[in-house]
Amino acid sequence: MLLDEDLLRLSLGRNDCAGLVLGHLASGQNLLMIGRFAPSRSHLEKALALHDPTSHRALVRQAGLHPHVNARFSLGFALFLLGFPDQALAQITAAIAEARGLAHPPSLAASLAVGGMLLSLLRDHAVLDEWVAQ
């Protein structure tokens, strides 16, 4: 089984940008889950920067969720945990809008779930009500 670092090293060696997107996304999410928020943020920002919507279209089938949307809402949660609630909310709101625009229900559901958790922690029920009404 490939580890995140192996995927990144292999993708870098092959100049495989799609593999780098997935590798940075996986690394960022794994680091987020173990409480390493700053390196998580760095990986997620790299995934966002490397993603090309045209050439990485097939990644949605491979990853299940749209990688750009996934990286964006994951980055939002990392930013919240790093103490940047306004930036976090902006990232997650953008992820929800992007998922709606892509008409990709799994990505929208995941974005709304993470956004709902964030809004609950922020006790911002007014925005949560707006999201539910859309």
* Mean pLDDT on 5-17: 65
What residue numbers bound the domain in which 65 lies? 4-133
Residue of 35, 31, 28 lying closest to 91 (CA atoms): 28
Strand, helix or coil at 69? helix
Q: 120: domain CATH number?
A: 1.25.40.10
What pTM did the predictor assign?
0.85
Distance CA 129, CA 16 (A): 41
pLDDT, position 65: 83
* Mean pLDDT on 32-52: 94
Domain count, the chain: 1
